[in-house]
């Protein structure tokens, strides 16, 4: 019985890979036809899958202003968010739910964290430049799938910076 189970598991992995191989281009083509740029559509016409460009265009469509950031989950936690940050986070969670990336609002919030990171900015100063470090708060979502809940895509971590004064 152990052998049969092992053989059936080894057969399932290629099937999942095959499913991804066939499903992903179809999802990309369908989305690009309606929402994609002329460049993405031309890539598809010329036989390219269009994956890298699709990923960036889809992310911009799903979460305007967000960026891929595989390290964002490790940023410092925001311990005392403002009312505005809480509201923006709620709206973000509702968008996650709307896109089918979470079962309910509680599940969406479990995949979203408010984080903070430092940015060095250069400002002109007498005799050169001055570097000022400022803290940026951001929403981090660690289960973005650029095709909704489809297993055709692996999950990505994305970051949406919030405006800070």
Give the H or E element holding residue 121.
strand 112-125
Tell me, yes or no, whether 162 and 144 share the same domain. yes
pLDDT score, position 19: 66
* Claim to verify: residue 82 and residue 54 sit in the same structural domain: no
In this structure, the answer to whether residues 9 and 21 fall within a common structural domain is yes
Residue 165 is predicted with a pLDDT of 45
Residues 132 and 86 placed together within one structural domain of the fold: yes
H-helix or E-strand spanning residue 8: helix 2-35
Say whether both 102 and 165 belong to one domain.
yes
Residues 37 and 1 in one domain: yes
Tens of pLDDT along 14-61?
Answer: 566 666 778 899 999 999 999 999 999 999 999 999 999 999 999 999
Domain boundary among 11, 30, 62: 62
The domain in which residue 23 lies consists of 1-62
pTM: predicted TM-score of the whole model, two decimal places: 0.80
Same domain, yes or no: 58 and 81: no
Distance in angstroms (rounded) separating the CA atoms of residues 106 and 108: 5
Q: How many domains does the chain have?
A: 2
The percentage of residues in the chain with a pLDDT greater than 90, rounded to a whole number, is 67
Are 109 and 33 members of one domain? Answer: no
Average pLDDT over residues 128-157: 88
Same domain, 55 and 69: no
Residues 115 and 85 in one domain: yes
Name the domain boundary from 62, 79, 94.
Answer: 62
Q: Other CB atoms closer than 10 Å to residue 125's CB: what's the count?
A: 10
Q: Specify whether 80 is located in the same domain as 145.
A: yes
Query: 79 and 40, same structural domain?
Result: no
The more confidently predicted of residues 2 and 25 is: 25
The residue among 45, 62, 79 that closes a domain is 62
Residue 148 has pLDDT above 90, yes or no: no
Task: Supply the pLDDT for residue 13.
Answer: 54
Q: Environment class of residue 141 by beta-carbon count within 10 Å: exposed (0-12), middle (13-18) or buried (19+)?
A: buried
pLDDT band at 134; cut points 50, 70, 90: confident
The rounded mean pLDDT for the chain is 88
- In this predicted structure, the answer to whether residue 1 has a pLDDT above a threshold of 90 is no
How confident is the model over 134-144, as a mean pLDDT?
Answer: 93
96-110, pLDDT tens digit by residue?
A: 999 999 999 999 999
pLDDT at 45: 97
Cβ(160)–Cβ(66) below 8 Å: yes
Q: What is the pLDDT of residue 66?
A: 96
């Amino acid at each position: 019985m152990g052998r049969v189970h092992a053989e059936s598991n080894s057969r399932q992995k290629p099937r999942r890979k095959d499913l991804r191989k066939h499903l992903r281009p179809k999802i990309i083509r369908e989305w690009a036809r309606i929402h994609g740029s002329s460049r993405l559509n031309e890539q598809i016409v010329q036989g390219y899958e269009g994956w890298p460009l699709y990923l960036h265009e889809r992310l911009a469509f799903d979460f305007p202003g967000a960026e891929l950031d595989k390290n964002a989950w490790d940023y410092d936690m925001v311990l005392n968010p403002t009312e505005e940050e809480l509201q923006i986070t709620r709206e973000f969670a509702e968008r996650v739910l709307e896109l089918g990336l979470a079962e309910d609002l509680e599940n969406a919030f479990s995949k979203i964290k408010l984080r903070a990171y430092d940015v060095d900015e250069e400002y002109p100063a007498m005799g050169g430049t001055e570097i000022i470090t400022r803290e940026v708060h951001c929403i981090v979502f660690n289960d973005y799938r650029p095709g909704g809940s489809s297993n055709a895509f692996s999950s990505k971590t994305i970051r949406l910076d919030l405006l800070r004064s």
